[in-house]
A and B are shown apart, each in its own frame.
Chain A
Amino acid sequence: MNSGYQIVVCAGIVPDPLQTLEPVSGPAGPVLKNETMLPAILDPWAAHALYEAAHLAAESPGSKVWLVSLGPKAKLQQVMMTVAQKAAFEFVAVDGAAGGFTEAHDVAAALAEAIRAIAGLDMARLLLFGGWESASRGAGATLQMLGEQLGIVDQFQGVDELRVRPDGALEILERVEGGRHQLSVCVGPPAALGWATGNLPEPRNNPQIGMANLRGVMPALQRAKPFRPAADGARFLRAAAPRQQRETRVVKDLDPAEIAREIAAWISKN
């Protein structure tokens, strides 16, 4: 029998992928051009983790969800105005850059410190959720390092589904190579789960949830500790975006055979 989970979702913010992102060199290494002007969103993989956490918490009485996020305070506030309508959580903020050019180990250390500081958090009931990937860098390393720093040995990556067995064991469907899934069972928390896409749709915006969440968001932002990466840590020498080859057309209801023919012709041409 479990008396509910304590689910900590680590979710960074990233520039809205719909924007044009261009790495440029700044005084302290690569940055994104016009980063302060770019709208931000919750990292899409981590967002799935949040929706799964909310779903699990709703099904497991006594559970609670925290959302821990590292990003510039002003951007965090803005993103929360959208995210807070989706799922109930208590917010924990860490104030720092979120452009993706930060060493994963340093980020994990800052998140670990913030999580340890959560009052009343019972590590024995902890489920650490996050994204398997990230839209800002996609190294997939931060959550694993964070799990290690928190002493969580049961770690799962590329998770698409989590089910709780009647005996309280966690049945976890992980993506593995070759397009297959691996079913793992662990006895229960603590565990770290890096979510792939999950199976849940994005929740509808719920004004009641939003207003309840917001009561904690502003104080959390005011309490946010600054994040300073280690001075002798990793240095990013160069960053570049993949070459863009845009031959965009918006066509609907095109015959699949015709689409395939066009793609084959394009590949042959290149």
Chain B
Amino acid sequence: MDVDIVCVGFGPAMGGFLTTLARDADPNLQVICYERADDIGFGVSGAVTRARGIRASFPDLNPAEIPMAAPVRQEKIVYLLDPMGASRRSPSRRSKTLRAADRLLRLLRLPRNQAFELPWTPSFLRKDGGLLLSIGQFMQWTGAQAMSNGTVQIWPGMPVSEALMEGERVVGVRLLDQGTNREGHPDAGYMPGMDMRATLTVVGDGPVGAVGRQLDAQFGLPGGHHQHEWAVGAKMVVDLREGVDLEPGTVFHTFGYPEPEIFGFFYVHPNRVASVGIFVPSWFHNPARTSYRYLQHYMLHPYLWRYLEGGRLRSWGAKSLQEAGKRGEPFLAGDGYARIGECSGSTNVLTGSGVDEAWTTGIQLAEAVKELRSAGKPFTKANLEETYVARRRASWVEREGRVAEKARDGFHHGVVSGLIGMALAGATKGRFSIAGEPQLLPNLEEYYRGKLTPGDIDRVRHQCYGRGIAMHDALMDCCGWPAVPYDGQLLMSQQDAMLVGGKVQAPAGYADHVTFLYPDFCERCATKLCIEMCSGQALTPGPNGVPLFDREKCVFCGACLWNCRQPLDDDPVRTNIAFRAGAGGLHSTEN
């Protein structure tokens, strides 16, 4: 089939693009957007955002029209001390520094509820005049408006398999085959993925999208760019108990706990609802890192638990974040295609902001498309660079992205140097920062040296793999982390959280989207980080060392993609895990 413009992925960037494009659009223009998730707004995350781009699109925006939205009222940065005595037991030097900071704060009697509220928030982190959003709800609201005049069609439940290439030119997309078995071979009701040809293909499929990564593999990245830095964000949306009357729009940014490397957030939505979550970064060098267990300990921290106790889980979700930001920017445009949003390196890793930037890149591309169409010019690389890329380069997204470009490099030396590096970059507008390069992840024996013996680790491995489960819970137990007191309302097993809050679905008739390229690599791998970091417990230990993948539990966070310790011999940037286009995932619009 032929359309004018075909779009891949309906996230904030595509929201900005379609909203702008649909206004005063040529009635003959036909724009189709395909989204993998079963509905628009499923599985995307909540955010606090300055909302400059969003307000540019909706100058009269009334947050009350969007469920769960609120203007930002107050922001605090909070350093969380370790109330358990478990997280600071790592012998690494970064933890020693923070242990000393804990002692000093306690000596001065500064902490309240095992936390110290910083007296001010650095300007680069503030979201003055911004919005607190459930991006799921916001995307539903946006989608309805974008489709209202008929120019734009957004089709959920329809994953895009790949970009169609003719030489170096993208000429559309191929949709995913339906009616296949797990291996992708034709089965009952087989329907091969349809080819949708278009004069312009807009790629906004996020950090782990199949089409974006295909283009990266095809064209490479600009010189000096890389995408080595990641994080997985895990969050819960919680009904707070009666009597917790925090002002909607209250925002806490936290650091220090449950591990020094893990940042957290607590946002208060209207009607006594809160979003609470953590980011587990790739530079947290724990080879058994996990987001779910840490999220529970985070919620149990006294500073937050005083609000969360008695609360009830409404929704749960997880997603990967491309934290290379500007440094991970691919080629933004080529013949027949353009890239927007997180997959285009728009995330600002200094300000901790991605939605506003992504939305704005969508606006910029839409304005460029309108300009080119009205001039009767084709969507060539040169024309898109003169219009879209030029707009982006001249905008605040680029300016602030450059300030942030090296801001986090210091974290490769440790948390304290990372924080200093961020402050330095923020204060000097990016002129100075602390340099650093990603380091090789240690193996379990190296990481736990001094706390657990290789024999202890072997025993845990044997026990856990024998039961078909990941090792992180047992390892954390061994290191002094207390058991999580499940209450069945807010604190519950990971599987229950998926059922109560995530409602993960996997429609029949699609191939497994997570596969292992070379099984012998997995057989040799003693640190199966992919299993440990899997947000939905979709990856479990399998026979012969090759993990098993259960599509019915996959939330499409994409963490396995960057949590594989087996780089390919011929391409060390790629790992042994193929994360392809797939169907299903979370069924929640509240994230």
Q: Which of A176-184, A187-195, A200-208 faces chain B?
A: A200-208
Q: Which of A36, A39, A208, A214 contacts B194 (CB 8 A)?
A: A208
Question: CB-defined interface of A197-217 with B at 8 Å, one 1/0 digit per residue?
Answer: 000010011111011001000
Enumerate chain A residues within 8 angstroms of B54, measured Cβ to Cβ: none
Q: Which of B148, B179, B500, B509 contacts A20 (CB 8 A)?
A: B500
B499 interfacial contact with A, CB 8 Å: yes
Given A78-B143, A205-B178, A207-B155, output 9 extra A-B contacts at Cβ < 8 Å. A37-B68, A37-B590, A39-B588, A78-B40, A205-B158, A208-B194, A211-B1, A249-B495, A250-B495
Closest to A19 in B: B503
B505 interfacial contact with A, CB 8 Å: yes
Closest to B148 in A: A218
Q: Are A204 and B587 touching (Cβ within 8 A)?
A: no
Enumerate chain A residues within 8 angstroms of B158, measured Cβ to Cβ: 85, 205, 207
Q: Are B153 and A206 touching (Cβ within 8 A)?
A: no
A81 interfacial contact with B, CB 8 Å: yes
Question: CB-defined interface of B34-58 with A at 8 Å, one 1/0 digit per residue?
Answer: 0000111110000000000000000
**In the complex, what distance in Å separates the CA atom of A143 from the CA atom of B108?**
73
Q: Which of A74, A77, A85, A248 contacts B155 (CB 8 A)?
A: A85
Q: Are A81 and B40 touching (Cβ within 8 A)?
A: yes
A207 and B1 in contact (CB under 8 A), knowing A82-B39, A248-B499, A249-B495? yes
Closest to B552 in A: A250
B589 interfacial contact with A, CB 8 Å: yes
Enumerate chain B residues within 8 angstroms of A117, measured Cβ to Cβ: none
Q: Are A18 and B157 touching (Cβ within 8 A)?
A: no
Closest to B3 in A: A211
Q: Which of A39, A77, A85, A201 contacts B42 (CB 8 A)?
A: A39
Q: Are A85 and B32 touching (Cβ within 8 A)?
A: no
Q: Which chain A residues (231-250) contact chain B, with CB distance < 8 Å?
A: 246, 248-250
**In the complex, what distance in Å separates the CA atom of A74 from the CA atom of B143?**
10
Enumerate chain B residues within 8 angstroms of A74, measured Cβ to Cβ: 144
Q: Which of A37, A204, A206, A246 contacts B67 (CB 8 A)?
A: A37
Enumerate chain B residues within 8 angstroms of A252, measured Cβ to Cβ: 550
Closest to B140 in A: A78
Closest to A218 in B: B150
A268 interfacial contact with B, CB 8 Å: no
Those 3 A-B pairs whose CB atoms lie nearest each other, nearest first: A18-B503, A204-B178, A37-B67
Q: Are B189 and A82 touching (Cβ within 8 A)?
A: no
Enumerate chain B residues within 8 angstroms of A20, measured Cβ to Cβ: 314, 500
Q: Which of A18, A36, A201 contacts B189 (CB 8 A)?
A: A201
**In the complex, what distance in Å separates the CA atom of A208 from the CA atom of B147?**
18
Enumerate chain B residues within 8 angstroms of A211, measured Cβ to Cβ: 1, 32, 153
Enumerate chain A residues within 8 angstroms of B189, measured Cβ to Cβ: 201, 204
Q: Are B179 and A214 touching (Cβ within 8 A)?
A: no
A207 and B196 in contact (CB under 8 A), knowing A16-B587, A39-B587, A85-B155? yes
Enumerate chain B residues within 8 angstroms of A270, measured Cβ to Cβ: none
Enumerate chain B residues within 8 angstroms of A206, measured Cβ to Cβ: 191
Q: Are A246 and B178 touching (Cβ within 8 A)?
A: no
Enumerate chain B residues within 8 angstroms of A207, measured Cβ to Cβ: 1, 32, 155, 158, 175, 194, 196
**In the complex, what distance in Å separates the CA atom of A246 from the CA atom of B589?**
23
**In the complex, what distance in Å separates the CA atom of A181 from the CA atom of B510?**
34
**In the complex, what distance in Å separates the CA atom of A122 from the CA atom of B314?**
48
Q: Are A18 and B40 touching (Cβ within 8 A)?
A: no
For this complex, 22 residue pairs linking A to B, each with C-beta atoms less than 8 Å apart, are: A16-B503, A19-B588, A36-B67, A37-B137, A39-B587, A39-B588, A74-B144, A77-B144, A78-B40, A81-B147, A85-B155, A85-B158, A204-B179, A204-B191, A204-B509, A205-B155, A207-B1, A211-B1, A211-B153, A214-B153, A246-B488, A250-B553
Q: Which chain B residues (566-591) contact chain A, with CB distance < 8 Å?
A: 587-590
Enumerate chain A residues within 8 angstroms of B277, measured Cβ to Cβ: none
**In the complex, what distance in Å separates the CA atom of A16 from the CA atom of B586?**
12
**In the complex, what distance in Å separates the CA atom of A34 from the CA atom of B136?**
14
Enumerate chain A residues within 8 angstroms of B188, measured Cβ to Cβ: 201
B391 to chain A minimum Cβ distance, whole angstroms, is 30
Q: Are A18 and B144 touching (Cβ within 8 A)?
A: no
**In the complex, what distance in Å separates the CA atom of A214 from the CA atom of B495?**
38
Enumerate chain A residues within 8 angstroms of B155, measured Cβ to Cβ: 81, 85, 205, 207, 210
Enumerate chain A residues within 8 angstroms of B194, measured Cβ to Cβ: 207-208
Enumerate chain A residues within 8 angstroms of B523, measured Cβ to Cβ: none
**In the complex, what distance in Å separates the CA atom of A39 from the CA atom of B140?**
9
B242 to chain A minimum Cβ distance, whole angstroms, is 14
A82 and B38 in contact (CB under 8 A), knowing A208-B194, A210-B155, A248-B499? yes
A23 to chain B minimum Cβ distance, whole angstroms, is 15
**In the complex, what distance in Å separates the CA atom of A201 from the CA atom of B148?**
31
Q: Which of B39, B154, B498, B553 contacts A39 (CB 8 A)?
A: B39
Enumerate chain A residues within 8 angstroms of B179, measured Cβ to Cβ: 204
Q: Which chain B residues (144-197) contact chain A, with CB distance < 8 Å?
A: 144, 147-150, 153-158, 175, 178-179, 188-189, 191, 194, 196
Question: CB-defined interface of A31-52 with B at 8 Å, one 1/0 digit per residue?
Answer: 0001011110000000000000
Question: CB-defined interface of B468-501 with A at 8 Å, one 1/0 digit per residue?
Answer: 0000000000000000000010000001101110
**In the complex, what distance in Å separates the CA atom of A18 from the CA atom of B585?**
13
Q: Are A81 and B154 touching (Cβ within 8 A)?
A: yes
Q: Are B496 and A18 touching (Cβ within 8 A)?
A: no
B438 to chain A minimum Cβ distance, whole angstroms, is 35
B238 to chain A minimum Cβ distance, whole angstroms, is 13
Closest to B590 in A: A37
Question: CB-defined interface of A114-140 with B at 8 Å, one 1/0 digit per residue?
Answer: 000000000000000000000000000
Enumerate chain B residues within 8 angstroms of A77, measured Cβ to Cβ: 144, 147
Enumerate chain B residues within 8 angstroms of A205, measured Cβ to Cβ: 155, 157-158, 178
Q: Are B157 and A82 touching (Cβ within 8 A)?
A: yes
B67 to chain A minimum Cβ distance, whole angstroms, is 4
Enumerate chain A residues within 8 angstroms of B42, measured Cβ to Cβ: 39
**In the complex, what distance in Å separates the CA atom of A34 from the CA atom of B239?**
11
Q: Which chain A residues (219-270) contact chain B, with CB distance < 8 Å?
A: 246, 248-250, 252
